[in-house]
Amino acid sequence: MSTIRLPSGVRDFLPRAAARRRALAGRVLDVFDAWGYARVITPVFEVSDVLERGLGAAARAQAIRFVEPGTGQVVALRPDITPQIARLVATRLTDVPGPYRLCYEGTVTRLAGELGQREILQAGIELVDPDRALSGAALESEVLAIAWAALSELSLPEKHIDVGHVAPAAFVLGTAPDEDARERLAAAISRKDRAGVRAAARALPEGVGPLAEALVTLWGPAKQTLEKFAGQPWPEPVRAAVRGLSATLDALTFGVHVDLGDLRGFDYYTGMKFAAYAAGAPDAVLRGGRYDELLGRYGRPAHAAGFAVDLEAIAQAQRNAGIAPPRPAVGVATSDPALARELRTAGLRAVVQAAGVTAAWLRGAGLDAAVVGDHLILADDSRRPAADAIEAARKGDTKALIALLSAP
């Protein structure tokens, strides 16, 4: 018999871990709902060439493809949900006036090597504006504000958002004489390796090398970083793009950091981009930005911005910070179906079980107590007399029994 195993990169979540992730998703979706974002549900796989219209090069390389048995079509498991939202807006919402404020929650699946996680739990928003009803600053600042509201709802320690713009790096990399030179320069900028950038920039036109080297220093508190940028000889189109970013940040009611040398997502985003970090998570817990070219690939050009929250990264940050998972409603086992109904009506969890009820079983089942005779058996193996409270609960008055169950 073969070994019972899971594919590399996926995992089961047992009740406690699943409860944490369900609660995280619920709290994030509640924030999205409060900001007027309507939830949509998209399929976990799509026709490959349709999905890949909306993917950057990195995401296309991470897509898992297979032949659908019924049709023979090549389909792909979604490595990102944003292209699905773009397809939906371009094909299903043409008769509905925008802007569209949509949100989602679900899994994405990515190739990430033998040791990498491939199935990722996400929740996110997309603000799509085909009629240009919103200014760029209004669209971007709304998305950033929702990202901060979601992070603030999750009790994360030492959180911050880094905001950037693709224009400065796009200008520098666009002057590279060939792909090899561009890749060497991009790698050095990504590492913030000033000496490496200086060496790679020797291949650039005169005057561009100092700007390439400056990219590795253009990060930190927003005001100081933008002032430093303004003092450098960037071409006017780049300066105009960063002035737009500054207008976005002026509309915020919270502080951010700016990093103009971060190249992650460079082939996907078209303007502002951002990432959020929290103590205890090894990488960003949230990423997003502007992607104005994406909707046009599906036949409906639009301004758009959004972000996705990595719920697994959030869960890891909470665990490392010692934040306990959410406590469910009190759970009780009883052999009496009528009593179980009364307890459920009162908002408790109730299991009907007549035999095998022990403290160890209660702990394994995630329950707090069992009604046995005129006593409560608790999950810590202690007992509490409760004859009057149990009898009252059977008649519909559960207050006294709930008080006993809830007592420390």
Please tell me the total number of residues recorded for the chain in this structure. 408
pLDDT of res. 114: 58
DSSP string, 248-290: HHHT-SS--EEETT--TTTTT-SSEEEEEE-TT-SS-SEEEEE
Distance CA 124, CA 357 (A): 42
pLDDT of res. 236: 97
Q: Tell which residue, 294, 292, 276, 278, has the closest CA to residue 80.
A: 294
Whether residue 262 sits in one domain with residue 126: no
Number of domains in the chain: 3
Q: pLDDT tens digit string along 181-223? A: 999 999 999 999 999 999 999 999 999 999 999 999 999 999 9
Please state the rounded mean pLDDT for residues 345-373.
89
Q: Last residue of a domain, which of 268, 286, 310?
A: 268
Please give the residue range of the domain that contains residue 109: 1-157+278-327
Whether residue 69 sits in one domain with residue 11: yes
With cut-offs at 50, 70 and 90, classify the pLDDT of residue 278: very high
Would you state the structure tokens that stand for residue 129, as one six-digit string? 């504006």
Whether residue 396 sits in one domain with residue 304: no
Asked, for residue 186, whether it belongs to a domain, the answer is yes
Asked, for residue 367, whether it belongs to a domain, the answer is yes
Whether residue 302 sits in one domain with residue 339: no
Distance CA 25, CA 253 (A): 25
Whether residue 187 sits in one domain with residue 255: yes
Q: Is the pLDDT of residue 17 over 90?
A: no
Whether residue 351 sits in one domain with residue 379: yes
What's the predicted TM-score (pTM) here? 0.90
* Residues pairing with 220 in the sheet: 258
Asked, for residue 337, whether it belongs to a domain, the answer is yes
Whether residue 147 sits in one domain with residue 48: yes
Q: Is the pLDDT of residue 132 over 80?
A: yes
Asked, for residue 273, whether it belongs to a domain, the answer is no
Report the run of H or E that residue 107 belongs to, with start and end.
Answer: strand 100-109
Q: Are strands 272-277 and 257-259 parallel, antiparallel or unpaired?
A: unpaired
Distance CA 80, CA 386 (A): 54
- When mean pLDDT is compared across 219-228, 301-310, 377-386, the lowest value belongs to 377-386
Whether residue 308 sits in one domain with residue 371: no
Asked, for residue 204, whether it belongs to a domain, the answer is yes
DSSP string, 191-257: TT-HHHHHHHGGGSPTTTHHHHHHHTT-EEEHHHHHHHHHTS---HHHHHHHHHHHHHHHT-SS--E
With cut-offs at 50, 70 and 90, classify the pLDDT of residue 116: low
Q: What amino acid is encoded at 285 in this protein?
A: V
Whether residue 207 sits in one domain with residue 89: no
Whether residue 339 sits in one domain with residue 222: no
In which order are the strands placed within the sheet that holds 45-47? 45-47, 74-77, 64-67
Would you state the structure tokens that stand for residue 397, as one six-digit string? 């008055």
